[in-house]
């Protein structure tokens, strides 16, 4: 029997069994290659694969029905999270840790080298993937205006095509990166069952009011301002595809009634690494465990759907 845990947050109730169930053909954005006949002990071990650092951004705003977050639909030809609705983000580049960027940023002074590169990658990916630039004109307090952003748009393409670095961009346009606006939201590492692994940090940030977020048309083919609860319901109805980490972080975001509340909660929360553990796989149901202190309203979540890939092709 599937346990049904009800969690009360902000006078709202969530049925965790429905809320967190997800299609097992996707696990943290990668295709499952596990045969239905295999037991947990028979799974391959890829713990020797060093996860690649990556950053993801939850660009949030307050809508008529509560908090909304910007999401893009991944191109179906991309390996990671193919065809799924995800938050903008990507791998950390070597140039994201250029020491010169420290001179052109606000909020990075107390960060370690790794934290700094993750934060820079978050801002770069946000600019490349959805055209939102979290940067200020040098010496000013306000973010770049919508009119200035139009002038800077060609840089997003150059950065995406590796024709320019962040240092070149920031120096040429006399900008400061607004790293101080990012709030660490979550930390997920792909389980060692997968040969392609990522060490991903999720950041929450309030969307600039006068900048318009759009998808880039290459890595992502569609975009939407999504209500977390409605998006989870759409995934349960198989109207959209969500990978496990995305679904869980949508649910975590839904615990808050506003962007300000979500950011304040995230600031106070401990940083807990989540790498789901496969506890069992019986009768087509996978049972996953995550740390209770990670703040997702539970520890064990059941996977109800059958794999999309037939066992004989796995």
Dihedral of CA 32/232/267/203: which sign?
positive
Q: How far apart are CA 82 and CA 308, in angstroms?
A: 13
Dihedrals φ, ψ of 267, to 5°?
-60, -35
Domains and CATH numbers, the chain: 6-313 (3.90.79.10)
Question: How many Å apart are CA 134 and CA 180, to the nearest integer?
Answer: 10
* Residue 304 binned pLDDT confidence (cut-offs 50, 70, 90): low
Taking the model in full, what pTM does it have? 0.82
Rounded-to-integer distance, Cα 95 and Cα 190, Å: 24
Give the tens place of pLDDT for each residue, 241-269: 888 889 899 999 999 999 999 999 999 99
**Confidence (pLDDT) at 214:** 60
Residues 6+ apart with CB under 8 A from 144: 133, 135, 136, 137, 152, 175
- Report the C-alpha gap between 207 and 132 in whole angstroms: 8
Q: Please tell me the least confidently modeled range out of 15-19, 57-61, 64-68, 275-279.
A: 15-19
> Which pLDDT does position 60 carry in this prediction?
97
Residue 26 has pLDDT above 90, yes or no: no
242: which 2 tokens? 């969500």
Task: Give the DSSP letter string of 244-261.
Answer: HHHHHHHHHHHTSSSHHH
pLDDT at 34: 41
Dump pLDDT digits (tens) for 68-88: 999 998 544 444 444 688 999
Report residue 262 as tokens: 């979500």
């Amino acid at each position: 029997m599937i346990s049904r845990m009800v969690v009360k947050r902000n006078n709202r109730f969530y049925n965790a069994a429905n809320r967190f169930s997800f299609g097992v053909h996707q696990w943290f954005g990668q295709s499952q290659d596990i045969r239905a006949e295999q037991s947990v002990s028979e799974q391959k071990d890829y713990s020797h694969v060093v996860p690649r650092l990556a950053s993801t951004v939850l660009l949030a705003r307050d809508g008529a029905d509560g908090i909304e977050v910007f999401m893009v639909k991944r191109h179906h030809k991309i390996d990671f999270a193919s065809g799924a609705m995800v938050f903008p983000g990507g791998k950390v580049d070597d140039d994201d840790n250029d020491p010169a960027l420290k001179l052109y940023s606000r909020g990075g002074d107390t960060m370690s080298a790794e934290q700094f590169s993750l934060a820079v990658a978050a801002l770069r990916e946000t600019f490349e993937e959805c055209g939102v630039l979290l940067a200020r004109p040098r010496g000013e307090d306000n973010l770049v205006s919508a009119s200035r952003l139009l002038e800077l748009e060609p840089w997003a393409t150059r950065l995406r095509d590796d024709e320019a670095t962040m240092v070149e961009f920031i120096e040429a346009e006399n900008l400061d990166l607004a790293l101080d606006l990012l709030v660490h939201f979550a930390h997920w590492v792909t389980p060692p069952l997968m040969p392609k692994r990522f060490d991903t940090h999720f950041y929450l940030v309030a969307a600039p009011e006068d900048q318009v977020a759009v998808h880039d048309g290459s890595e992502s083919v569609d975009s939407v301002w999504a209500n977390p609860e409605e998006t989870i319901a759409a995934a349960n109805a198989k109207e959209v595809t969500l990978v496990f980490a995305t679904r869980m972080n949508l649910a975590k975001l839904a615990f808050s009634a506003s962007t300000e509340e979500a950011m304040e909660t995230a600031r106070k929360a401990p940083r807990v690494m989540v790498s789901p553990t496969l506890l069992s796989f019986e009768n087509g149901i996978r049972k996953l465990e995550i740390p209770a202190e990670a703040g997702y309203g539970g520890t064990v979540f059941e996977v109800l759907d059958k794999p999309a890939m037939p066992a004989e092709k796995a």
